[in-house]
Structure 1
């Protein structure tokens, strides 16, 4: 798919944009057929868009060609039904990063995401980061971009002042926020007002607060374990008739923070497999052992999820996999 087919005329839609997993075969190769089925799963559950080739996708453990192939597979499977974004920066001089941004864009994604920790070194100032980010913008034609405050290689936060300068270029359409500070989130949302820009919060402790402050949506790892609940909260966070339910779901997000982060993304693949989705737990990243205790904890969480969804009237997508 050529860059000419990319739809760049609109902002990214509001709602849940999952950070996609990468399924692998027992041999360790990428399971492209499984990736197509996983893409369908995310679409069917109600995702507003897809974030391919991200940390949850084990992007650092993929070869350069696999990054392109994984992204292209997702774009082709989505077939324009919802937009796809993907990471396009993996270190080195900014000019080299710009070259790969263009290669990722050529797969047909709507926007290419830059990792904040790869734009400037950990000890370098915000001024250096801003200079380098603007250089990347200048070297990538009119490609819509986004930023991701990824924890690897280190978590570099883009404060609202810096983000505001980047948004003013008119090129930044997506920001995956990991600052964990709702007041800073509000400031970041404010600097993006009037632009085709959306902040998607990854921190589920602040899910409802961020959405009520004007966040475009959520882009969180929990969507790989209980996606229906993430979609539900994006739809109902401001529903005055269901605030008791909204508060209950928000508290659930808080209560299960520890288990969903343990041995991730292996534990997410385990949860999907346990609920009937055809995926192996094989993970290239070294994220620690999925112990029996973690499995038991996730098993208990899945029971809670099913109970909560039944009480909310959510018809779980996993029911169709359990009957296969």
Structure 2
């Protein structure tokens, strides 16, 4: 990812119409919102995209649509592994690569089962690399079907092949994040993007290439602001306020996600339905109260930081 500006890579939502069809017009508008916010790249076809609820053709069409809207302005990465034998996963990796993405992302929990050891995972990763010659790859420690966190020395071995240029870390462990960065930092094309906002500032200061978090599906411009200013001593007080805001609202933003993030974006002015194909739970009155409070709190924070409106 040596062509990318260090910063925020959104884990993109998939908008649907009320009948459950993918709303490609809204997907285009959403892509433009991420770009206006200052995103450094885009992660299409991920868990936030409800990728497991899409067909193969919907996955590919959505990726192509995002690529067309981005029009080369930023790199796009997208998931390409969905289970089964490695040879089958490799075949779909090639189809995703044919869309022109910067890297195709492999789900760690789909390359080895929960009861299989690290040696098995290593063998399958190397098989995937061998069966997808020339295709830049990345890894995503996706929570579904289960979260398989790579050990720092594993990631180092994979990056040493010269084929792995992206890693989305969900370890929630700043020690592991720092060690992964330490072991892979000398590879100019590789970037680690942290998903956990509880230690966002520490991760950026440790050398993370950027952030890739669900909070960016509420206020992408705030995550961009944090990536831009985390080391700015003149804004140290504001940086700490933003970090605490993200920590304080962690549970609110994860509850009934991504339905609530679509609701939040709609409230901000994006023409997007709250329909989701995933069964993520009920949007209760309590959930709505929390989101309304989040909206009010964010409005005040945005005004304090003098962030430009996206809508």
Aligned equivalent of 2:132: 140
CA offsets, 1:141-186, max 9 Å, x none? 1111100000000000001010010010111111110001101100
Partner Cα separation in structure 2 for residue 179 and residue 228 of structure 1: 24
TM-score (norm 1): 0.94
- Alignment RMSD: 0.9
Within a 5 Å distance, the mapping from 1:150-229 to structure 2 comes to 150-195=142-187, 196-229=189-222
Aligned equivalent of 1:96: 88
TM-score (norm 2): 0.98
Q: Any conservation in 1 of the 2:193–2:211 contact (CA below 8 Å)?
A: yes
SS of aligned partner of 1:101: helix
Partner Cα separation in structure 1 for residue 185 and residue 33 of structure 2: 32
Q: Any conservation in 2 of the 1:160–1:191 contact (CA below 8 Å)?
A: yes
CA offsets, 1:38-90, max 9 Å, x none? 11111011100000000000000000110100111101111000110000000
Question: Bigger shift: 287-296 or 79-88?
Answer: 287-296
Partner Cα separation in structure 2 for residue 71 and residue 232 of structure 1: 26
Q: CA deviation at 1:11?
A: 4.6
Confirm or deny that 1:80 pairs with 2:72: yes
Alignment size in residue pairs: 310
Q: CA deviation at 1:12?
A: 3.9
Q: Which runs of 5+ in 1 are unaligned?
A: 1-7, 319-324
Confirm or deny that 1:127 pairs with 2:149: no
Aligned equivalent of 2:237: 244
Aligned equivalent of 1:36: 28
Partner Cα separation in structure 1 for residue 249 and residue 93 of structure 2: 36
SS of aligned partner of 1:56: helix
Partner Cα separation in structure 2 for residue 160 and residue 107 of structure 1: 30
Which contiguous aligned blocks of 4+ residues in structure 1 show a shift greater than 4 angstroms? none
Change (3 A) 1:11 1:146: farther
Q: Any conservation in 2 of the 1:25–1:282 contact (CA below 8 Å)?
A: yes
Change (3 A) 1:117 1:11: farther
Confirm or deny that 1:24 pairs with 2:24: no
Q: Which runs of 5+ in 2 are unaligned?
A: none
Q: Any conservation in 2 of the 1:88–1:112 contact (CA below 8 Å)?
A: yes
Q: Any conservation in 2 of the 1:11–1:198 contact (CA below 8 Å)?
A: no
Partner Cα separation in structure 1 for residue 265 and residue 307 of structure 2: 17
